[in-house]
Amino acid sequence: MTTQPTFTQKLSALFAETWLRMLNISRYPGQLAMEIIIPVIFASMPMLLGRATGGAEAAANFQANTGTANYVAFLLIGSNVFTLVSSAFWHIAYWLRFEQETGTLEAIYLTPTSSLTLASGVAVYSLIRGLTSAIASYLIGCLVFRVNPLEGNVLLALAFIAVGLIPLYGMTFIFGAVVLKVKESNALISLMQWVVSFLMGIFFPIAVLPPVVRLIALAFPPTWITNGVRSALLGVGFFFKEWYFDMAVLWGFVLFVPLFSFWVFNRVEMNVKRNEGMGQF
């Protein structure tokens, strides 16, 4: 007879999963370095394009279109939130895919530890890795392009990130469900990553999007994180004028998105278990 694990045991399993992932990635320092460099290079593309096409008026035009002349920080915030979003999607999805491919997913589902506990362990790992990379990348980017990384309300910006990460990681369970169902889903996740980056306004304010697309964009938590951080640091303007209204919307996501995602994930999981799909890949 299997006894249910206690809370302490669950916590222990969760951190064991986190530790395992950390140990694994520590063996690939090149990947970690690239994670810090990529957002800076990525943000530099529109910067260089804009400077060249906008000429001497680039910053003024940028301010007229976005509400801030500090395009370096604006673009770096976009590319680093994108890093956070990508990390979240990929780490959860890749964890499931990796276990599928190595043939250990079936075994995991036979242990008394729930998949949610282990996935939470991966989420903690992803959070540490994503946040460290994003913050380091933002600071290095600001240093390279010589702008002050700490202007504006830094604490409020961090609060937007902290609250926004909860629904963001909630969303990743939907991607986990896609991996369980579709199996070879790398291309789909890759596409979704770009859809979200487009919708959250990675390098532009979502005001430039057509009204229908803008409405869809507002249904994504990353859009609120990006704009919240930009508004707190650069004063580009909150969607509802005041920060607490925008924060309230994010809290709304906190209450709804994780529950909805877990429900979707559980349903797919049950379905896959019943239909002999767990060990297949």
**Interface positions with another protein (CB under 8 A):** 28, 30-31, 34, 37-38, 41, 44-54, 57-58, 61-62, 64-66, 71, 75, 182, 184-188, 190-191, 194-195, 197-198, 202-205, 208
CB of 34 to another protein, least distance (A): 5
- DSSP state letter for 4: P
Cβ proximity of 234 and 147 under 8 Å = no
CB atoms within 10 A of CB 146: 7
Residue 241's alpha-carbon distances to 28, 52, 231, 238, 247, in angstroms, are: 44, 33, 10, 5, 11
State in angstroms the smallest separation of the CB of 22 from another protein.
18
Radius of gyration of the chain measured on its C-alpha atoms: 20
Comparing CB distances to another protein, the nearer of 72 and 247 is: 72
Angle at 258 between CA 100 and CA 153, to 5 degrees: 115
Return the structure tokens found at 123: 């989420």
For another protein, give the closer residue by CB, 1 or 187: 187
CB of 274 to another protein, least distance (A): 24
Least Cβ distance, residue 68 to another protein (angstroms): 11
CB of 76 to another protein, least distance (A): 13
Q: How far is the CB of 46 from another protein (least distance, A)?
A: 3
In the complex, least distance from residue 207 CB atom to another protein, rounded to whole angstroms: 9
Distance from C-alpha of 216 to C-alpha of 236, rounded to nearest angstrom = 21
Nearer to another protein (CB atom), residue 41 or residue 107 = 41
Q: Which is nearer to another protein, 6 or 53 (CB)?
A: 53
Q: Which is nearer to another protein, 39 or 258 (CB)?
A: 39
Nearest CB to another protein, comparing residues 198 and 260: 198
CA atoms of 271 and 252, how far apart (whole Å)? 29
**Maximal C-alpha separation, the chain:** 74
Pick the closer one to another protein by CB: 4 or 53. 53
What single string gives the DSSP state of each residue in 17-38?
HHHHHHHHHHT-HHHHHHHHHH
Q: Which of 195, 238, 235 is nearest to 217 (CA)?
A: 195
- Residue 55: Cβ within 10 Å count: 9
